[in-house]
Amino acid sequence: MNIQLTDKKEQIFLSTLHFIHLYGFHGSPMSKIAKHAEVAVGSIYHYFPSKEDLIIELYWYCKEKLNSAVFDKIDPELSYQEKFEIVFRRWIVFYLGHIELFSFLDQFYGSPFYEEVRNNVFVQKPERNKLWHFLELGKREKHLKDLSVRLLISMFLGGPITLIRNCIWTKKKVEKEEIDQLLEIIWNGVKY
């Protein structure tokens, strides 16, 4: 699905991210989202037949934003390890700069809404699931250990997600040294 955005649709997405970050899925009624987005409730239903459709399309919107920020403009001449390090650092920096988006995705993956996309998410085209395909390539080219890609993703994301959650909860900044150390630990754990 290629999401074509209008200004209204973008504002609806941003307002939905805001409310879900603050109040969760159930505490974010369409009426509040519409008011915050400065659109009529009917406008939301023009773009999204239901709240579930809004949340699922918002998921794909967030994935596209994340994928673009993390994977675009990486020099193809770099070694796989250099690309791995860039992707890892960009992932953390993006999430730290987009806390509402991080909060939404963090909640989404543990919600029943994910059921709608879970069965298809791992077989999506590379532009949809870039991390999966990036790690799969590393495994296939013998840069990464012969582990399941699901396990590689868990290792790649587990530490950073926990670190970001901790920063949000404690309101403490992530130090560059912490990112460097976490990257070294994860790379040493997955490299071939």
Q: What is the mean pLDDT of residues 160-169?
A: 94
Give the integer Cα–Cα distance in Å for 32 and 28.
Answer: 7
The tens digit of pLDDT for each residue in 51-81 reads 999 999 999 999 999 999 999 999 999 999 9
Q: What is the mean pLDDT of residues 163-182?
A: 94
SS3 59: helix
Map tokens 């070294």 to a residue: 184
Domains present along the chain, CATH in parentheses: 7-190 (1.10.357.10)
pLDDT recorded at residue 125? 53
Average pLDDT, the chain: 91
Give the integer Cα–Cα distance in Å for 119 and 131.
Answer: 17
| Residue 1 pLDDT level (bands cut at 50, 70, 90) | very low
Q: Which residues contact 58 (CB under 8 A, 6 or more apart)?
A: 13, 16, 17, 104
**120: enclosing H helix or E strand:** helix 115-121
Global pTM reads: 0.87
The tens digit of pLDDT for each residue in 113-164 reads 887 777 665 555 555 789 999 999 999 999 999 999 999 999 999 999 999 9
